[in-house]
Structure 1
């Protein structure tokens, strides 16, 4: 059976996503988890520092490790304008009360394979051992590429090293605090230029976000959370789906006995 992913949100976002066929990727510094980025960078830097202390490393290897440590240190210490990473989150958990309460009373169900045809997806890690293993895997991959570069390296070698470096940067977004483990999160992570950033109002501040177009065929169903009038919500969604040419899309109502 094909795996599905759930994007929990509010009714306004459901309408916008379906009508415009676009995800909104939010800047990581403005997400609910106050440790976003910091947890991942901490594990990767700790792994790097342990490797630097290993005796017997050749000079190119030491230079490679020093470069990575310094680069990630700047990413960790800089303000968000200097390191814009944006993400859109999905959950592998269906009908999860904590998700309904945290993110909104609706969820769009997506076919994972179709989403992956257009985006790289990152499985979030919650346990310390998993984080340590992933940090070492990432560092080994980029370390080998950088250590083997010479002054006369060709474009292909440089591009391969840069690709591994950005894999590390984007993968920083998969390290999550263990308290969020029930979310079973999968996310899109992207870096963009400042001229691509939009802003939306939230309370008394602005949230930076970027848009990303997706294939509407990825949508499998709309889920309505445990709200007081699910039938009225369903009727409103039926009107929307008919208007945008998706009249047969399945609508699923939560059976959780909780009324928000």
Structure 2
């Protein structure tokens, strides 16, 4: 087990029991996901919130400054960390976002304009599907509840910074190329990048987000496609799932016409989701006056 996997196992909150998680989307997303029985999982650099890596790096820098307060090698170690920061640009991770909340006012607004849908999935069953995906040999798969607690984040990142300081001090005293430092820094970069996917500011805690992260092997070139959104090409990869992983669907709070339910039933029958009865389809309980 490498350093990143060890830290992931220690500090991420991986769901180990069978449960239900929800994916919010608009009607076009619903159609594509259920028709093709696959997710289009976007490259992390193209997600709405571009501050996540910055948020984690700010914790790293704050901890590093604090830990080096009385260290005679402070300036040299900080120079080395500046080099590490410049190597953070290659952030090759694909992210699928789900939620523990099946009827969230915030998520209806953010991801489906209040008139979309959410799909209830059987979890961990979809993880099994992703792990047996045809291209699974090309990537690592991590999943966890997003962690909003600052104390937990600091504890995890503090361990990474301690490891970096130890490596940097040894390298400064070395008079030749230090292979251990090179390998260790690569591990640290991958670990910080991974934590940046699962660590978010507490102001986002209402999302109750659960994330699946796909990290390509360094030696592999993962196959991806591009979709168009708001005039931009968005790289994504496809992850297929078995139709029986879908447990139900919730219709958004503004989408309350009778024909919405009937149309959805017809769509599900057309695509052979026969296991989803009308009882598995519900309307959001959030009241809207318009």
TM-score scaled by length of structure 1: 0.76
Match 2:41 to one of 13, 25, 39: 25
Question: Following superposition of structure 1 onto structure 2, how do residues 130-169 of structure 1 map, counting pairs within 5 Å?
Answer: 130-139=152-161, 166-169=190-193
Mapped to 2, the partners of 1:208 and 1:217 lie a distance apart of 28
- 2:28 aligned with 1:6: no
Question: Following superposition of structure 1 onto structure 2, how do residues 107-146 of structure 1 map, counting pairs within 5 Å?
Answer: 107-117=118-128, 118=131, 119-139=141-161
CA contact (8 A) 2:22 2:121 kept: yes
CA contact (8 A) 1:106 1:225 kept: yes
| 1:170-201 per-position Cα deviation (integer Å, ceiling 9, x unaligned) | 22111213221100111112234776332222
| 1:28-79 per-position Cα deviation (integer Å, ceiling 9, x unaligned) | 233232412211222234334544557599xxxx98x98776334421xx3x
Question: Following superposition of structure 1 onto structure 2, how do residues 64-143 of structure 1 map, counting pairs within 5 Å?
Answer: 70-75=83-88, 78=89, 82-104=90-112, 105-117=116-128, 118=131, 119-139=141-161
Mapped to 2, the partners of 1:143 and 1:112 lie a distance apart of 39
Question: Which range moved further: 122-131 or 133-142?
Answer: 133-142
Give the corresponding residue for 1:216: 243
How much has 1:243 moved relative to structure 2? 2.0
How much has 1:3 moved relative to structure 2? 2.6
Mapped to 1, the partners of 2:107 and 2:29 lie a distance apart of 15
Give the corresponding residue for 1:178: 202
| 1:199-251 per-position Cα deviation (integer Å, ceiling 9, x unaligned) | 22222322222222234332211111112434322222212221222122121
Mapped to 1, the partners of 2:61 and 2:34 lie a distance apart of 40
Segments of structure 1 that go 5 or more residues without pairing to the other structure are: none
How much has 1:108 moved relative to structure 2? 0.8
- 2:234 aligned with 1:207: yes
Mapped to 2, the partners of 1:116 and 1:126 lie a distance apart of 23
CA RMSD of aligned residues (A): 3.5
Mapped to 1, the partners of 2:284 and 2:157 lie a distance apart of 38
Mapped to 2, the partners of 1:44 and 1:215 lie a distance apart of 40
Figure out how many residues of one structure are paired with residues of the other and give that number.
245
Give the corresponding residue for 2:287: 257
Change (3 A) 1:50 1:223: same
Change (3 A) 1:125 1:69: farther
CA contact (8 A) 1:238 1:247 kept: no
Mapped to 2, the partners of 1:121 and 1:34 lie a distance apart of 20
